[in-house]
């Protein structure tokens, strides 16, 4: 059975233990990283986290979609989605 994902509090606690610092310092590091990633992706760039993967923004073209309740087809405007490609090292550590 799969474990539940780490909460923000659990992640901060684990990060503070790894960095041998207090929780306030770990919170600052986590929020700074999140802010930097958000700024870069919002500006159309990409962020590579070594050993984890690459986070980037991709544009999707305008397309026809179907309303599942009515079956009616409607036009959906072009939009952007955030994607992540997982690093080979992480895939190998999970599978092997």
The per-residue pLDDT for range 7-47, each reduced to its tens digit, is 999 999 999 999 999 999 999 999 999 999 999 999 999 99
User: Chain-wide mean pLDDT for the chain?
Assistant: 93
pLDDT value of residue 64:
94
Q: What is the DSSP string of 26-87?
A: HHHHHHHHHHHHHHHHHTT-EEEETTTEEEEEEEE--EEEE-TTT--EEEEPPEEEEEEEEP
80 and 37 inside one domain: no
Domain containing residue 13: 1-43
Domain count, the chain: 2
pLDDT value of residue 3:
85
pLDDT value of residue 2:
67
At 73, which CATH number?
Answer: 4.10.520.10
pTM of the model: 0.76
56 and 74 inside one domain: yes
């Amino acid at each position: 059975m799969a474990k539940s994902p780490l909460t923000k509090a659990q992640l901060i606690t684990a990060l503070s233990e790894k960095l041998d610092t207090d929780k306030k310092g770990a919170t600052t590091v986590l929020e700074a990283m999140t802010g930097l990633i958000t700024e870069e992706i919002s500006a159309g760039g990409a962020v590579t986290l070594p050993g984890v993967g690459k986070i980037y923004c991709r544009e999707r073209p305008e397309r026809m979609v179907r309303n599942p309740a009515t079956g009616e087809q409607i036009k959906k405007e072009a939009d952007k989605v955030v994607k992540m490609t997982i690093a080979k090292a992480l895939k190998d550590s999970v599978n092997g």
